[in-house]
Amino acid sequence: MSVSSSKLPLFLYGILLCGSFASFPLISSIKHGRHNARSLMHGSGSPWNKREEAARDGEYLLGIKRLRRLYCNVGIGFHIQVLPTGRVTGVHNENIYSLIEISPVERGVVTLYGVRSHLFIAMSERGKLYGSGNYNTDCNFKENLLANNYNAYESAAHPGMYIGLSKIGKTKRGDRVTPTMTMTHFLPRI
pLDDT tens sequence across 99-130: 999 999 999 999 999 999 999 999 999 999 99
Q: How far is the first Cα of the chain from the last one, in angstroms, to the nearest whole number?
A: 62
Q: Are residues 96 and 20 in the same domain?
A: no
Quick check: 187 and 77 in contact, CB under 8 A?
no
Q: Are residues 77 and 142 in the same domain?
A: yes
What is the residue range of 142's domain?
66-189
C-alpha 5/C-alpha 11 separation (Å) is 10
Q: Are residues 82 and 176 in the same domain?
A: yes
C-alpha 53/C-alpha 51 separation (Å) is 5
| pLDDT of the residue at 20 | 52
Q: Are residues 72 and 53 in the same domain?
A: no
Q: Are residues 150 and 183 in the same domain?
A: yes
| pLDDT of the residue at 5 | 60
| pLDDT of the residue at 52 | 45
20 backbone dihedrals φ, ψ, rounded to 5°: -75, -30
> Does 79 have pLDDT greater than 50?
yes
> Does 25 have pLDDT greater than 60?
no
Instruction: Give 147's DSSP letter.
Output: T
